[in-house]
Amino acid sequence: MKILWSALLHRATINRRINYNSSQAIFLSVNMTYSALLLCSTAMSRKIKSATHSEQLVTGVARLLTDTTHKHSDVQLKVDGNIFHCHKLVLAMKSPYFDEKLFPSSSSSSSVAAGDEQIVLNDIRADDFDKVLQFIYTGETTLNEENIENILRIANIMELTELTKFCVEYLSDKLSLKTCPYYWKLAEHTNVPALALACKRLCLKEFDKIGSSSGLSSLSETMMRELLEDDELVVESEVDVCETLMKWLNSQTQSGNSVQPYQLLTRIRWSAVPVEYVKTELITNDILMNDRQCFEFLAKVISYRLTGVQFNGLNTFHRPSTEVEQCVVVVGLGTGTYVSSAVLRVSLQRLNHVTSAQAIPACMQTEVAACVCRNLMYVTGVGSDKNEAWKWESAFGWTKCGNMNEGRRRHCATFVNNTSMYVLGGFVDKDKTTLDSIE
């Protein structure tokens, strides 16, 4: 077959040379014969792949690290007075830090000049760097409690992402309430967000235990602020949060650390803190009272707890762990002259979250009054005679209270000291009179 194709090609070539200006058919014959030959040649090609190439290459690179002759070494790293004979290509492939050092771009001003054969790495222990080199050349190394911090720092500097990940996993397995603040600071210092997040999550989950642990005083002001403002903080009550905050403030004062307690107070969810606690435990605290902003803020908190009037900087949303959600309850939906008995619960903490609750079992009227006492809501002025009062609890629904002496609408209702409800004024349709009485 080869002889036949060769003969055809030879013959076609002669025809093309002799009859260059002859008919188009001869030229097409030559072209088609040549194309057929190329197709035949392509069909005979074969792609091969070594089954041991990757393994041999990895083994060869690892062997470079233990080669005492250093005949392939083209760069020396001086660490803690020790010389490591290394290889530029290996270092550059694994570390962007070394890539920039050993193969600088023209715009880089901090890189090692071309031709330098030795790089000095300061503030690194030789034993720790040896472990890092083992990982660069072999993908394996040994981590322990003695070297983990230094190796994490080196891995971060040299942008060894995979080694940093292994260090974070090692430290995450070792986290405890005692060590968590320390490793959190280490993560911030070495710019390792994954480790910082692992530490923060543990503190959020075990916040109720932090107050009695030795690690509380090690938390920085930034850490405490991040914990207090996080919705995932797990606590049984906001009073527990205040107690832990006060212990932390005392520990910082005893250590001579300067803090800004006002910024921390604004992270407390004050709708869940009783006014009595604010008066007896917070407003009398020397640390808080010596700060003018804290004193003014707590005075506003007391006013808010007594009157319900909010102010700028007040944080009222409950934490999810307390299973209390702040919402608006709408009783009765008006459509012209008719008012339905429907009750809707509108979440203030979840966007577009509206649910239905048990309808009020009374004849709804226009211009009724409602007021809230703790987690209870009272509606007055309903019923056919507009003199009924009803109480609503989220867990039990509606309960009828005693009737008012006088039926009315357009009146006001409020609680005083969370003990007594007062109904003020109103209009009586039957007599067409305006009331000035209080019940």
Predicted model pTM: 0.68
What are the pLDDT digits (tens) for 33-73? 555 544 555 568 999 999 999 889 988 898 998 888 989 99
Provide the Cα torsion 39, 44, 49, 51; round to 10°. 150
- DSSP code at position 282: I
Candidate CATH numbers 3.40.50.10540, 3.30.70.2740, 2.120.10.80, 3.40.50.620; the one for domain 326-438: 2.120.10.80
From residue 238, give the alpha-carbon distance in Å to each of 5, 155, 270, 276, 434.
Answer: 92, 41, 8, 14, 44
Residue type at position 270: W
Predicted local distance difference test score (pLDDT) of residue 18: 38
The mean pLDDT value of the chain amounts to 86
Predicted local distance difference test score (pLDDT) of residue 9: 41
Residue 428 structure tokens? 């009586």
What are the pLDDT digits (tens) for 364-415? 888 899 998 877 899 999 999 999 999 998 788 899 999 999 999 999 999 8
Cα separation, 69 vs 61, in Å, equals: 15
Predicted local distance difference test score (pLDDT) of residue 42: 53
On whether the CB atoms of residues 12 and 29 are closer than 8 A, the answer is yes
DSSP 47-104: ----SSHHHHHHHHHHHHHH-TT-TT--EEEEETTEEEEE-HHHHHHH-HHHHHHHS-
Using 50 as the pLDDT threshold, list the residues of the chain that sit under it.
Answer: 1-30, 37-38, 113-115
The terminus-to-terminus CA distance of the chain in angstroms comes to 117
Predicted local distance difference test score (pLDDT) of residue 379: 95
Cα separation, 365 vs 384, in Å, equals: 8
